Amino acid sequence: MTADITAQDLHEAGAVLAAESARFASFGWMRGTSGNLSVVLSREPLLLAVTASGHDKGELTPADVVLVDGQGAAVQGGKPSAEAELHARVAALTGAGAVVHVHTVASVTMGHRQPGGIAFRDVEMLKGVGQPAHDVEVVLPVIANSQDMKELGDRLEEARNPLMPAVVVAGHGLYVWGADPRQARHYTEVVEWLLELELARR
Ligand SMILES: [Zn+2]
């Protein structure tokens, strides 16, 4: 059932997620207990380590992690966030190995201003998400928020742009994914930078 995921594996994943969370919290992107991070530990069956719900994301320990299945239900550990279901959906849909969810001011503001999607072009920083800096317009999709993770997942699946490893959830925040926690972090920082740029331009 747990695909040979040991307590040690989960602890090591928890240590990685705690370090990533502390970094994002230091940027002010995980205020209060908001946001959550995950890393895929098994693809078949899909199992992810997700940060535990209700903790200060600047103070996580390696034990503050939950193992969840492809539906976001806890397999081992404490209580996962309801958003764990969306992490699992993103990992299954995109093949990503890590998912970042943060509540940033720039993502909420830009999602409000451009509910149809936020277009970027002619910005060197687009290279940071694997796109050419020039002559290509890359749209960051914006989807409506929902408390129903199935509905939110359906919206994300429909709106997803293969050129952009991220989606803005209106009035809520940002989901970003990458091959591993390090790439997911780089993509998160780049996407947030692009959003802050658009914010500064207006
Ligand atoms: Zn959230």
Using CA atoms, how far apart are residues 177 and 121, in angstroms rounded to an integer?
A: 21
Q: Provide the mean pLDDT of the chain.
A: 95
Looking at domain 7-201, what is its CATH homologous superfamily? Class II aldolase/adducin N-terminal domain (3.40.225.10)
| C-alpha 34 to ligand 1 mean position (Å) | 6
Q: 96 in helix, strand or coil?
A: coil
Evaluate if pTM is beyond 0.85.
Answer: yes
| C-alpha 84 to ligand 1 mean position (Å) | 10
Domain boundary assignment for the chain: 7-201
Confidence at 56, pLDDT banded by 50, 70, 90? very high
Instruction: Please check the confidence at residue 1 and state whether its pLDDT lies above 60.
Output: no
| C-alpha 101 to ligand 1 mean position (Å) | 6
Provide the CA 87 distance to its chain's centre, in angstroms: 7
How confident is the model over 16-31, as a mean pLDDT? 97
Q: Which residue has the higher pLDDT, 135 or 141?
A: 141
Instruction: Please check the confidence at residue 19 and state whether its pLDDT lies above 80.
Output: yes
**Orientation angle between helical segments 149-159 and 84-94, nearest 10 degrees:** 30
| C-alpha 136 to ligand 1 mean position (Å) | 30
pLDDT of residue 121: 92
Using CA atoms, how far apart are residues 137 and 118, in angstroms rounded to an integer?
A: 10
pLDDT of residue 134: 87
| C-alpha 83 to ligand 1 mean position (Å) | 7
Q: Is 101 annotated as a binding residue?
A: yes
Instruction: Take residue 23 and report the two structure tokens written for it.
Output: 């970094």
